[in-house]
């Protein structure tokens, strides 16, 4: 679908020139490796109340991988709860609408103004994750809009040439979206059963042929030779419940343990993110 209402940039994609350093050439095979322990997530910065005009807002930044790449920067604003327009049929619950958008300049490949399927898909996942945490029947006949703009996507300047990495990056983006939206909902004063936070765990194959696959939390795909499977989890820690689970990859069905471990690690990552979330909210209150 062409966007005819705005003056857009060139249709074709342009790839910025990348010059090979002579020093890099010789160490071509050597990639950056993960320096964190396998069960520690990256540092993140979370702040609520950044958009005064919205009823609730939050900003989340996840530190970059330190390879000339950029971290994840998300900004979320919540508008509502507000009355639905007269034309909408009666709803006994609050109507949630989620909107996730990458800024056109967020990734190496330019994104248009119209949301592409990946962004819409992220929106649906986010809606499922939040719907479980909101106490929806306290606001009949009302709606709330949750708008997330991804200001900067996770991207590694050197290594994202490699194909197939973007697919795994969307999971990291989703977990960030869930955490930031949860903070913004709390900021807006919308009743929730608990704060929901997102976490990612992945089964990765590190460089070296004989290395057995290992499970890491909060993976950066470019740091690993191959990502075999990953899962993103939205978790409510006090109720010990999962509101959204998204698993992708290729696992033998006979090995259910591996799957359970992956989910377990995803929950662990989500709990870690939740600490940051709770600390941030306590700070605002106190």
Binding positions for other proteins, rule: CB under 8 A:
1, 15, 18, 91-93, 115, 117-118, 120-121, 123-125, 127-128, 131-133, 135-137, 161, 163-164, 167, 193-194, 231, 234-236, 239-254, 256, 259-260, 263-264, 267
C-beta closer to other proteins: residue 62 or 196: 196
Q: In what order do the strands lie in the sheet with 226-236?
A: 214-217, 197-205, 226-236
In angstroms, what is the minimal distance from the CB of 83 to other proteins?
A: 18
In 3D space, the residue among 249, 209, 206 whose CA is nearest the CA of residue 229 turns out to be 249
In angstroms, what is the minimal distance from the CB of 201 to other proteins?
A: 13
In angstroms, what is the minimal distance from the CB of 120 to other proteins?
A: 4
Place of tokens 């950044």: 50
What SS3 class is residue 157? coil
C-beta closer to other proteins: residue 23 or 163: 163
In angstroms, what is the minimal distance from the CB of 254 to other proteins?
A: 8
C-beta closer to other proteins: residue 38 or 228: 228
In angstroms, what is the minimal distance from the CB of 42 to other proteins?
A: 24
In angstroms, what is the minimal distance from the CB of 56 to other proteins?
A: 21
Sign of the dihedral through C-alpha 30, 65, 216, 225: negative
C-beta closer to other proteins: residue 135 or 207: 135
| CA gap 139, 137 in Å, rounded | 5
C-beta closer to other proteins: residue 59 or 246: 246
In 3D space, the residue among 174, 160, 154 whose CA is nearest the CA of residue 222 turns out to be 160
In 3D space, the residue among 144, 184, 196, 194 whose CA is nearest the CA of residue 49 turns out to be 184
Whether residue 96 contacts residue 80, with contact meaning beta carbons closer than 8 Å, is answered with no
In angstroms, what is the minimal distance from the CB of 46 to other proteins?
A: 22
**Angle subtended at Cα 120 by Cα 139 and Cα 277, rounded to the nearest 5 degrees:** 60
| CA gap 149, 153 in Å, rounded | 10
Q: Cβ contacts of residue 101 below 8 Å, gap of 6+?
A: 115, 119, 147, 148, 149, 150
C-beta closer to other proteins: residue 184 or 232: 232
For 283, the enclosing helix (H) or strand (E) is helix 256-285
C-beta closer to other proteins: residue 23 or 53: 23
In angstroms, what is the minimal distance from the CB of 93 to other proteins?
A: 6
What SS3 class is residue 102? strand
C-beta closer to other proteins: residue 12 or 37: 12
């Amino acid at each position: 679908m062409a966007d005819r209402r705005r003056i857009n940039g060139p249709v074709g994609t342009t790839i910025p020139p990348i010059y090979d350093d002579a020093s890099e050439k010789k160490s071509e095979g050597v990639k950056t490796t993960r320096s964190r322990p396998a069960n520690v997530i990256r540092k993140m910065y979370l702040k609520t109340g950044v958009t005064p005009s919205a009823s609730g807002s939050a900003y989340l930044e996840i530190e970059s991988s330190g390879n000339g790449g950029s971290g994840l920067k998300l900004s979320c604003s919540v508008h509502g709860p507000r009355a639905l327009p007269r034309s909408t049929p009666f709803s006994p619950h609050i109507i949630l609408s989620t909107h996730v958008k990458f800024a056109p300049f967020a990734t190496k490949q330019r994104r248009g103004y119209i949301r592409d399927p990946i962004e819409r898909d992220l929106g649906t996942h986010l809606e499922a994750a939040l719907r479980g945490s909101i106490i929806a029947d306290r606001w009949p006949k009302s709606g709330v809009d949750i708008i997330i703009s991804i200001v900067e996507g996770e991207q590694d300047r050197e290594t994202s040439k490699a194909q197939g990495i973007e697919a795994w990056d969307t999971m990291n983006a989703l977990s960030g979206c869930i955490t930031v939206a949860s903070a913004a909902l709390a900021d807006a004063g919308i009743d929730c059963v608990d704060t929901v936070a997102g976490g990612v765990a992945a089964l990765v194959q590190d460089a070296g042929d004989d290395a057995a696959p290992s499970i890491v939390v909060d993976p950066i795909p470019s740091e690993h030779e191959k990502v075999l499977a990953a899962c993103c989890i939205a978790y409510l820690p006090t109720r010990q419940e999962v509101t959204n689970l998204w698993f992708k990859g290729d696992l033998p069905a006979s090995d259910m343990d591996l799957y359970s471990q992956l989910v377990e690690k995803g929950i662990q990552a989500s709990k870690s993110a939740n600490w940051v979330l709770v600390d941030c909210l306590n700070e605002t209150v106190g």
